[in-house]
């Protein structure tokens, strides 16, 4: 299976069109200002600065020819920032070692945004930016401003930490998207030349670098480049990176002898990938690797690799994922923790990791239409991914906790990673451009297709066209998601063809749905999809799912959530906020038999379903008897106050100022 052609999927959904328009009108232009350090109150990026500095050096090199003396590498740190913005020197590198990737993610989002409709001003800006980026490429194809500026003699000497292959991956993904959108080859040629150069250096032969990326992404990017160009060399390089990872001795020990003998979970290099069954280490790295592995399993039909992908997916979903679709429970190494360790107030749950989980799930769907993958894709998308961006598209979460008491985050060193409000930008700004590229490319995640069947994974209102044996079948979907579960699909042109439409039955419906079909006679249920076929005329399909607020409890092994529940409705997970319910949210106990009242409210700028339910606020009654001091009293009783608890979608939290928030509620 493959994703439906993104250029043929026209999103017309009210909910998602708004998000896409926001990214196109606000986020992308704002990020362009950021990449050029023109937002005084946000952390400077130095991303375009670095490309210009590398371009200047290139020019000097060209002018002086053999007389050019290349800078010798001196280590300046993983992240280098000038004291003050105005102190930045035009020929020095600043930012994190992977700063180039911010542009690549931005141009990828631009590419997808241009697919949703033309924007000549944006395209012109992008073209000029591409000129700057391409001018930084060395004649041999190398392109990473960190080493070009700081000294090429050490390039590819620290694959573990220095992200050259990570930047290559993002360059490829950006270049592919921009080429698909515009047909312009300049950035694609640059990406191919860098990939060719890397392919010439890496491998098992004599004198080759026998390593692989410290931060994965090149794998899936190279498969995408192979998909686009049909060039086997890119597939070979991706396969090489995947096959080498985790072999003994660990390649990274060569670069970092202090790692000797220690299992390298952090980089998923602790064992060969086909033997890996538990998701471990840095969560973004992990799901990027698993996505590449799934691409390879699909292309090569490697059963052992597919088995590993399935086990890793289940390992995440069965024991390492928050109810919000967030992953990576600990800030220590931005990593997966041990199974069932899912703390709410120190959660890491990086936005990028949830995005990576969407990538992984979507790739599993290309192998097999099983709704369990689409369920997780939807969960991560509607909750943690959307939580990553403010309603106005101008501030972002890197970390997505499930409970916040603002004062604690500010004063407790164990929670400094948790921010109670979204930030304008981050020096390490992986997340904001990642959200931008995912939301603009949403058209890729709605459907997959094979020869005859169009599989609907996400109910996002859209029009698309599928070719079935030379016949064009038009599929038009109207969806009430996420506010209601009513979906109407019209299918035109499928009469007497082998076309089949598969519709996902979301896991949260527990198998219940209502279906009414006119114009097709065949219905069959399999792996969480209902298949509709044998079209006898232009068809209308109504499928609806009840979106009823439900209480969800975590497995008892999640100690953090014992005696707690959360509320979900359809794909949306809800939370309580101080602004609606007062502070000290931990005093609130939900009534497990209480009724839910749904309200459509407009305080977030569009129709959002909020929920009210019965609860109590439990306050310890003051006792006169204290063993010592004022902190403790002998227990007397609890005062119980009936309250009406208001819940809003989790992804909307912290859009009304800094305040307490909790997803889980005592029961
Ligand atoms: Zn990130």
433 with 109: CB under 8 angstroms?
A: yes
DSSP per-residue letters across 505-565: --GGGTT--EEEEEEEEEEEEETTEEEEEEEEEEEEEEEE-----EEE---TT-GGGTTEE
* pLDDT at position 617: 97
Is 138 a residue whose pLDDT tops 90? Answer: yes
* pLDDT at position 580: 98
DSSP per-residue letters across 438-497: HHHTGGGTSEEE-SSEEEE-S---EEEEEEETTEEEEEEEEE-TTT--EEEEEEES-TTS
Residue positions counted in the chain: 667
* Ligand 1 centroid, distance to 265 Cα (angstroms): 19
- What does pTM read for this prediction? 0.97
634 with 600: CB under 8 angstroms?
A: no
* Ligand 1 centroid, distance to 48 Cα (angstroms): 19
What is the SS3 assignment for 176?
helix
* pLDDT at position 430: 84
* Ligand 1 centroid, distance to 430 Cα (angstroms): 4
321 with 555: CB under 8 angstroms?
A: no
DSSP per-residue letters across 274-288: GG--S--SBHHHHHH
* pLDDT at position 494: 96
Helices marked H in 202-282 — which ranges? 218-229, 232-244, 251-255
Read off the pLDDT of each residue in 178-205 and give the average, rounded to a whole number.
Answer: 97
Q: Active-site positions?
A: 334, 430
CA distance 132 to 123: 14
Instruction: Identify the weakest region by mean pLDDT among 320-324, 529-533, 613-617, 621-625.
Output: 621-625
* Ligand 1 centroid, distance to 254 Cα (angstroms): 28
Provide the pLDDT confidence category of residue 636 given band limits of 50, 70 and 90: confident
Q: Which residues pair with 471 in a beta bridge?
A: 468
* pLDDT at position 379: 98
Is 384 a residue whose pLDDT tops 80? Answer: yes
- Tell me: the pLDDT tens digits for 41-76? 888 899 999 999 999 999 999 999 888 888 899 888
* Ligand 1 centroid, distance to 334 Cα (angstroms): 10
Residue 312: CB atoms within 10 Å: 25
* Ligand 1 centroid, distance to 240 Cα (angstroms): 26
Residue 67 CA: distances (Å) to CA of 64, 104, 135:
5, 33, 20
DSSP 622: P
Read off the pLDDT of each residue in 385-407 and give the average, rounded to a whole number.
Answer: 95
Radius of gyration of the chain (CA): 26
Structure tokens at 460: 């996002």
Residue 60 CA: distances (Å) to CA of 65, 66, 144, 149:
8, 11, 17, 12
Structure tokens at 509: 């419906």
CA distance 172 to 167: 9
* Ligand 1 centroid, distance to 424 Cα (angstroms): 14
Is 621 a residue whose pLDDT tops 90? Answer: no
Burial 531-570 (b: 16+ CB within 10 A, else e): bbbbbeeebebebbbebebeebbbeeebebbeebbbbbbb
Please give the helix or strand (H or E) that residue 617 lies within, else none.
strand 608-620
Half-sphere exposure of 95 (CA within 13 A, CB side): 33
- Tell me: the pLDDT tens digits for 212-230? 999 999 999 999 999 999 9
- Tell me: the pLDDT tens digits for 440-466? 999 999 999 999 999 999 999 999 999
* pLDDT at position 250: 93
């Amino acid at each position: 299976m493959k994703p439906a052609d993104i250029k043929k999927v026209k999103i017309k959904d009210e909910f998602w069109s708004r998000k896409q328009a926001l990214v196109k009108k606000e986020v992308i232009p704002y990020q362009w200002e950021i990449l050029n350090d023109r937002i005084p109150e946000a952390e400077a990026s130095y991303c375009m600065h670095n490309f210009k500095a590398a371009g200047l050096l290139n020019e000097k090199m060209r002018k002086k020819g053999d007389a050019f003396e290349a800078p010798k590498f001196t280590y300046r740190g993983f992240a280098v920032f000038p004291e003050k913005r105005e102190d930045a020197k035009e020929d020095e590198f600043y930012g994190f070692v992977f700063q180039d990737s911010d542009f690549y993610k931005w141009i990828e989002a631009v590419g997808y945004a241009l697919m949703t409709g033309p924007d000549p001003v944006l395209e012109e800006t992008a073209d000029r930016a591409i000129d700057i980026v391409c001018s930084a490429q060395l004649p041999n194809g190398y392109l990473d401003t960190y080493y070009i500026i700081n000294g090429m003699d050490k390039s590819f000497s620290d694959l573990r930490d220095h992200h050259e292959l990570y930047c290559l991956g993002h360059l490829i993904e950006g270049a592919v998207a921009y080429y698909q959108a515009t047909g312009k080859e300049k950035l694609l040629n640059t990406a191919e030349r860098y990939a060719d150069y890397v392919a010439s250096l890496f491998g098992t032969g004599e004198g080759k670098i026998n390593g692989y990326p410290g931060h994965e992404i090149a794998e899936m990017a190279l498969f995408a480049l192979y998909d686009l160009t049909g060039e086997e060399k890119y597939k070979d390089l991706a396969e090489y990176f995947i096959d080498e990872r985790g072999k003994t001795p660990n390649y990274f020990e060569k670069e970092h002898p202090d790692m000797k003998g220690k299992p390298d979970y952090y980089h998923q290099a602790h064992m060969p990938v086909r033997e890996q069954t538990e998701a471990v280490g840095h969560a973004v790295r992990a799901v990027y690797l698993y996505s590449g592995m799934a691409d390879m399993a699909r292309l090569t039909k490697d059963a052992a690799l597919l088995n590993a992908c399935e086990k890793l997916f289940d390992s995440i979903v069965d024991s390492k994922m928050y109810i919000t679709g967030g992953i990576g429970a600990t800030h220590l190494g931005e990593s997966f923790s041990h199974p069932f360790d899912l703390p709410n107030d120190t959660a890491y749950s990086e936005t990028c990791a949830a995005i990576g989980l969407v990538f992984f799930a979507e790739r599993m769907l290309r192998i097999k239409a099983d709704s369990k993958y689409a369920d997780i894709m939807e969960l991560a998308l509607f909750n943690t991914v959307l939580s990553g961006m403010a309603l106005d598209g101008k501030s972002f979460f890197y970390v997505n906790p499930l409970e916040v008491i603002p004062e604690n985050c500010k004063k407790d060193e164990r929670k400094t990673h948790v921010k109670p409000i979204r930030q304008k930008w981050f020096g390490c700004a992986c997340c904001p451009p990642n959200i931008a590229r995912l939301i603009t490319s949403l058209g890729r995640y709605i459907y997959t297709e094979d020869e005859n069947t169009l599989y609907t994974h996400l109910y996002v209102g859209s029009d698309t066209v599928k070719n079935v044996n030379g016949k064009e079948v038009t599929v038009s979907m109207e969806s009430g998601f996420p506010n209601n579960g009513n979906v109407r699909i019209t299918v035109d042109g499928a009469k007497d063809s082998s076309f089949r439409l598969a519709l996902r039955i979301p896991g949260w419906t527990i198998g219940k749905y209502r279906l009414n079909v006119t114009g097709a006679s065949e219905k069959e249920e399999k792996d969480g999809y209902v298949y509709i076929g044998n079209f006898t005329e232009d068809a209308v399909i109504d499928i609806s799912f009840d979106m009823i607020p439900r209480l969800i409890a975590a497995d008892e092994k999640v100690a953090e959530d014992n005696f707690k529940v959360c509320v979900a409705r359809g794909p949306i997970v809800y939370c309580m906020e101080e602004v609606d319910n007062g502070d000290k949210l931990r005093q609130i106990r939900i009534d497990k038999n209480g009724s839910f009242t749904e309200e459509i409210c407009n305080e977030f700028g569009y129709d959002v379903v909020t929920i009210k339910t019965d609860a109590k606020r439990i306050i310890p009654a003051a006792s006169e008897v204290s063993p010592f001091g004022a902190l403790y009293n002998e227990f007397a009783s609890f005062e119980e106050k009936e309250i009406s608890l208001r819940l809003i979608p989790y992804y909307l939290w912290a859009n009304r100022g800094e305040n307490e928030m909790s997803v889980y509620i005592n029961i």
